[in-house]
Each structure stands twice: as C-alpha cells, then as structure tokens.
C-alpha cells in the first residue's frame, strides 16, 4: 500500500493495455475484421467508443430507469446518466493510474447496453418469465449487454449494409464482467483469455485493469447518486440524514453538514482514496476505513432506498407491463406464418405487431428476401420454426426496450 498522502501518478503504466502489453493482441481482437477509413486517427478502443455512442441501445438508455421510475422528471438519474457517471469516474482513475483511458471509457459507456426497462426490477421480471417458460439459462444484464453487442446492435458500414457492432475483446470482456456488486477490497485482472460466452455471473474478474476500474467505478457511481435522488424524493427522515452524515464524518475526519454528503463529494472521496491505496501488486483497493464506509453506505441504501415500500406500486406496474407484452406476442406464434398472423392485428396494435415483425425480419430466418433488401448483414440468431427461439426473440425485444416504449405498447394493448 502506498505510504504517502500523495497519489503516485502512472503507477499502473506498465499494465495499461497498449502495444507493449502481452495482452494487447488478444484485447484488440474482434469477431470479424472492421473496415478502416483512410487516414483514420482513432485507436481500436476509440473506434469502439464511437460505435457505442452511435448505437440505438445507447440512445435508449436515456429513457430507462436507473432506480427511480420518473418518465416526467428531467433531473432524476436515468440509465444514460449512470453510464456517463461511470465513464467519468473510470477516465479519472485510469488517467491518474496510467491506464488506457479510451478502453476504460468504452467499457463504461457500453456496460449497460443490454439493461432491461424498469431497472433491476425489470431484470427480475424477465428472469421469472424465462424460468416459467423453460429456458435453461438465467437472465442477467451483464450477459445481456454482451448479447446485444455481439448479436443485436448494428451500424451501417461504408456501403450502407447494417452489420453487428463487433467490439474488441477487451471492451466486450469488461462489459460482461462489470458487475459492481463486489465484496472484496482488491481487484486484479485474470490472466486467462477465455470465450466470453462461457462466463458465469460473478465468477470472473475482467481481463484488464481497465475493466477492473470500470467494475469499481460502477459501484462508486451509483451509491452517491442514488442518495441524492432519494433525498430529493424525501425518502429520508432526520435520523436517516444524521446516519449518513456520521458515516461520512468517520472517514473524512472532519465535521460536515448533510448537504456535503452528495454525489460529487462521495465520488471525489472514493476516487482519491482508491488512487492513493492501489498498486499493481495488491490491485485496486481502498483503505480499510473507506472500504468499510462504502459497504455501510451500500447497506444503508438497500434498507432505506431499494427496499422502500414506496416502490411497490411501480414494481407491480412494471410486472404487468412486461408480462402482458410477452404474453401478447407469444400468443401470436405460428411458425413461418407468424408475420401474417401479427399483421392481422396491426390495425389495433400497430407498435407491437409491426415493430416486432421488423425485429423478426432482421434477426430470424422468417423472410430472408426482405432481410437482404433492407441491407441487413447481421447474424441470424433465431430459427422461426423453433418455439424457444421465438420466445428468445420476445425476451430480446423486451429487454432492449426503454420504459417509455414498453408503456406505449402496453397502452396499445389496454386502451380502446
């Protein structure tokens, strides 16, 4: 551990993912080659940044719940603000430690591309649907983000053909391994170059230190911002505010006011402490005091925010919306005649039927001629004659929705 009050800059420089790192070639591999523009000055990870920012999944994050369902509140944190918080924190830490900033930023911006609508509650609803319908796998948003990156999201190439996002291994790895629910106070990357589709939830560290930075930044980002939003929604009484203030004072070693326990102050406190106490031998680590404080704040948040009964009506509503959309689309399965059957109801339910028809044309083998005419060059992932593939198509379609879009479909199904 660093025995100084000063941050030792570039302490991880030799471990940054660049041409001198033994992991470099593995880190920049893609599922298939990307075409290059003449005189392109971007690095491979800068290109990934651009591809993520231009993706539809990234844009939809602005209307996805982070914690508080607030489609009409401009100032509550949504999923897109969260990923940008994580990107900002990751860049700051990576720059101070001498790591690859572009890689860390790309992982951070893309880490929630496959997050469901209605936050983590939506994730649990989808998981229950999959259990009910006999899927042999669990739904977890980190793996779903990898699925969206590899199979769902497309961008037009220089000839206008829509191809899969096709990001580098290091970015894909950091995304599928990003879960911020880490209980150990020392993060170091693994050495194994493995098939990312075989990764199980919570079983693997990222392949790079940059991925580890995003993993811990995810936790730093959501703890402070969730407190700020909860305070604005009057989730705390005076006793709760006093508890938070005392937690912060224990570490900051000074008397503070409750208003000082905010997103900016908490993020700054954790970033500086992490950079002071980390080194390549022990990994990314906080002081014991700060690590204990982080866990206490996390426990406080779960008790006072995430488990608050004020969320119950929202949770019931989200369950109704997601289940009814799934049931409606599942009921219209008819093998290769599915599109025809869906289109019969397009006068009544235009969004659900026509948009899902487009989804099947793009990702299944139901209409390969139209697939080609629309200049799709993405991987076909569903066999329309397999009922489980059809159900997976519905799961993918729902999991990519914004809250607003899911509600729009639900209103079509319920309003006359």
Task: Dump pLDDT digits (tens) for 312-325.
Answer: 999 999 999 999 99
In the structure encoding, which two tokens stand for residue 141, read together? 């948003």
Of 255, 289, 297, 295, give the one whose Cα is nearest residue 272. Answer: 289
Q: How confident is the model at residue 133 (pLDDT cuts 50, 70, 90)?
A: very high
Does the pLDDT value for residue 3 go beyond 50? no
- The pLDDT confidence band at residue 1, using thresholds 50, 70 and 90, is very low
**Domain 13-113+153-307 annotated CATH 1.10.3210.10:** yes
Mean pLDDT for 258-273 is: 83
Q: Are 357 and 343 in contact (CB under 8 A)?
A: yes
Given a contact cutoff of 8 angstroms between Cβ atoms, the answer to whether 182 and 215 are in contact is yes
Least confident of 231-240, 260-269, 350-359: 260-269
Least confident stretch, 8-12, 127-131, 246-250, 354-358: 246-250
Q: Is the pLDDT of residue 104 over 90?
A: yes
- The mean-pLDDT minimum among 128-137, 220-229, 353-362 falls in 220-229
In whole angstroms, give the CA distance from residue 316 to residue 305: 17
Phi, psi for 154 (deg, rounded to 5): -135, 155
- In the predicted model, what is the mean pLDDT of residues 230-246? 90
pLDDT > 70 fraction of the chain, expressed in percent and rounded: 95
**Residue at token pair 């589709």:** 197
Q: For residues 409 and 322, what is the distance between their CA atoms, to the nearest angstrom?
A: 10
Task: Locate 340 and state its tokens.
Answer: 């025809």
Q: Beta 154-156 vs 162-164: how paired, if at all?
A: antiparallel
Which pLDDT score, from 0 to 100, does residue 303 have? 94
Phi-psi region of 161 (alpha: psi -120 to 50; beta: other; left: phi over 0): beta
Kindly indicate the confidence band of residue 115, based on its pLDDT and cuts at 50, 70 and 90: very high
Q: How far apart are CA 69 and CA 368, in angstroms?
A: 39
pLDDT at position 208 over 50: yes
- What value does the mean pLDDT take over residues 179-192? 80
Domain boundaries of the chain, sorted by first residue: 13-113+153-307, 311-414
Query: Rounded to two decimals, what is the model's pTM?
Result: 0.94
Q: Higher model confidence: residue 181 or residue 264? A: 264
Q: Is pLDDT of 284 > 90?
A: yes
pLDDT in tens, 140-175: 999 999 999 999 999 999 889 999 999 999 999 999
Q: What is the pLDDT of residue 262?
A: 74
Per-residue model confidence as pLDDT tens digits over 47-69:
999 999 999 999 999 999 999 98
Q: How high is the mean pLDDT of the chain?
A: 92
Please state, in angstroms and rounded to a whole number, the distance separating the CA atoms of residues 366 and 382. Answer: 9
């Amino acid at each position: 551990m660093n025995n100084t009050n000063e941050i030792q800059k570039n302490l991880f420089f030799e471990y940054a993912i660049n041409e001198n790192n033994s992991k470099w070639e593995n880190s920049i591999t893609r599922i298939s080659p990307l075409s290059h523009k003449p005189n392109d000055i971007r690095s491979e990870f800068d290109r990934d940044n651009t591809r993520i920012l231009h993706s539809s999944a990234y844009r939809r994050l602005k209307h996805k719940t982070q914690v508080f369902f607030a489609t009409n509140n401009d100032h509550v944190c949504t999923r897109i603000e969260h990923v940008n918080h994580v990107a900002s924190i990751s860049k700051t830490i990576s720059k101070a430690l001498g790591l690859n900033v572009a890689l860390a930023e790309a992982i951070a911006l893309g880490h929630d591309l496959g997050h469901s609508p209605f936050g983590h509650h939506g994730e649990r609803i989808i998981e229950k649907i999959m259990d009910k319908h006999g899927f042999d796998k669990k739904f977890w948003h980190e793996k779903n983000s990898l699925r969206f990156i590899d199979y769902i999201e497309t961008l037009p190439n220089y000839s206008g053909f829509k191809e899969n996002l096709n990001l580098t291994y290091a970015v894909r790895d950091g995304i599928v391994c990003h879960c911020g629910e880490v209980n150990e106070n020392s993060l170091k990357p693994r050495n194994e170059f493995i098939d990312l589709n075989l990764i199980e939830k919570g079983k693997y560290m990222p392949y790079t230190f940059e991925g580890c930075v995003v993993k811990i930044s995810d936790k730093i980002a959501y703890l402070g911002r969730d407190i700020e939003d909860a305070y604005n929604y009057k989730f705390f009484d005076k006793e709760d505010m006093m508890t938070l203030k005392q937690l912060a004072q224990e570490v900051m070693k000074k008397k503070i006011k409750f208003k000082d326990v905010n997103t900016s102050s908490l993020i700054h406190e954790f970033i500086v402490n992490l950079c002071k106490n980390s080194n390549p031998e022990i990994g990314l680590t906080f002081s014991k005091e700060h690590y204990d404080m982080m866990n206490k704040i996390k426990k406080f948040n779960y008790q006072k925010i995430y488990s608050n009964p004020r969320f119950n009506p929202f949770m019931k509503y989200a369950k109704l919306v997601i289940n009814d959309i799934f049931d409606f689309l599942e009921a219209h399965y008819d093998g290769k005649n599915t599109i025809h059957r869906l289109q019969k109801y397009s006068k009544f339910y235009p969004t659900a039927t026509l948009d899902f028809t487009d989804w099947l044309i793009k990702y299944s083998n139901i209409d390969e001629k139209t697939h080609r005419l629309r200049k799709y060059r993405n991987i076909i992932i569903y066999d329309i004659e397999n009922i489980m593939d059809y159900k997976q198509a519905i799961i993918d379609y729902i999991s990519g929705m914004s809250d607003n879009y899911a509600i729009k479909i639900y209103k079509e199904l319920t309003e006359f």
